Amino acid sequence: MNARHSLFFVAVLFLAPAISAQQSSPPKQSGDSSIELNVVVTHKSGPPISGLKEQDFTILDNKTPRTITSFQAVDGSKAPIEVMLVLDTVNAPYSVIAYERGQVDKFLRSDEGDLDRSTSFAVLTDTGVKSPESFSKDGNKLSAALDQSSVSLRVLTRSAGFYGAAERFQISLQALRAMVKREEGFPGRKIIVWISPGWPLLSGPAVQLDEKERQQLFADIVNLSTMLRQERVTLYSIDPVGTRGSVGNETYWQNFVKGISKPGQAQAGNLALQVLVTQSGGVVVEGNNDITSLLQRCLSDTRQYYQIAFDAPAGEQPNQYHHVEVRVAQHGLTARTLQGYYSQAQSGSPLVIPTPVNSGDPRMR
């Protein structure tokens, strides 16, 4: 047995509890014929634009124009929207966790605690995600609950190498699944703002996947992408660290943003937090540690947006990827929305990430 597979089997045993939890869910198939988009239109910078009509939009599905089957300009102040703020203590450095909490507390108490959106918060720890308070527009009530919540520093350290990184990845991914699952049945739009520098990418030259591993990973990518779309979840991420000296490693996730269409393209980086954020139509906010104002910036997307639907083409093969593009006729405006979907999405085997030969790669941290 060579070194790579020896380490791989250790990793499988190490992640066995997480894998078993995923295996308990039966396979699921999505037969959606209508694709619904929440579209935010802005200038290159600035608040969302209102007043646009159906004829101002063009929908491209794999570069093919699609007929718009329904259109609505949404006034966010009247729409059912839930906002979940996630404080990530698993992937954030020790030095910023207290600051992160203080900034969220400041946001909740702003405007005398009168929140525009039904909001809650969750804390991600080594033992999973905890949401001690239900959704409310009473920011003071939520702030009091946050002050009383117990946030223990993570046990997993950066010196734990790949094994610690793999477990943090699994904890983070399972937490996202749990929060999306929790939103089943709520008819409105959901916003999840994840305050974190990101999850371990577990990708790079040191990670070599065989065919079975890529198939498993592709199935997980399809499943999570479909869950987010069906539950109308838009992800946002705020890096609490702010400006940092090393740019290369912090932007490595951008190599995985493009949607993948077959198992042979699958890498763990396709499930990076920032990648999921971008693909869902949200925004990755980096380079500024004023979390309070950044939260306000992210949630400004909910003030005015457009709900647009079109029919997916018939006769598709399962798990066929479609890239979605929304164009706006008016010059200088850009549209941001879901970047793609999988037709007849089918889930499969649970995610297993093999161990790289060189766990000292900074992209694993």
pLDDT digits (tens, 9 = 90+) for 157-207: 444 556 688 889 999 999 999 999 888 888 889 999 999 999 988 888 777
Average pLDDT of 217-228? 93
26-38, pLDDT tens digit by residue?
334 445 689 999 9
On the question of pLDDT at 352 being above 70, the answer is: no
Please classify residue 83 by burial: count the beta carbons closer than 10 Å to its beta carbon, then call 0-12 exposed, 13-18 middle and 19+ buried: buried
Give the mean pLDDT of 116-141.
Answer: 90
Q: What is the pLDDT of residue 203?
A: 85
* pLDDT tens, position by position, 229-261: 999 999 999 998 875 544 445 788 999 999 999
- Per-residue model confidence as pLDDT tens digits over 30-66: 456 899 999 999 997 788 999 999 999 999 999 999 9
CA gap 161, 90 in Å, rounded: 14
Which DSSP symbol is given to 1?
-
DSSP state of 155: S
Backbone φ and ψ of 347, nearest 5°: -85, 165
- Domains (range + CATH), the chain: 3-360 (3.40.50.410)
Number of alpha carbons in the 13 Å side-chain half-sphere of residue 197:
26
At 151, is the secondary structure helix, strand, or coil? coil
- Of the pLDDT bands very low, low, confident and very high (cuts 50, 70, 90), residue 105 is very high
Q: What is the pLDDT of residues 323-343, one digit of tens each?
A: 999 999 988 999 999 999 998
- Alpha helical stretches, state H, the chain: 3-14, 16-23, 94-109, 139-148, 161-182, 211-230, 273-280, 291-299
Pairing of β 68-75 and β 114-125 = unpaired
Q: Which tokens in the block code for residue 364?
A: 């694993």
Side-by-side strand order, sheet with 334-336: 68-75, 304-311, 34-42, 334-336
pLDDT of residue 127: 84
- Alpha carbon distances (Å) from 60 to 19, 151, 339: 37, 45, 11
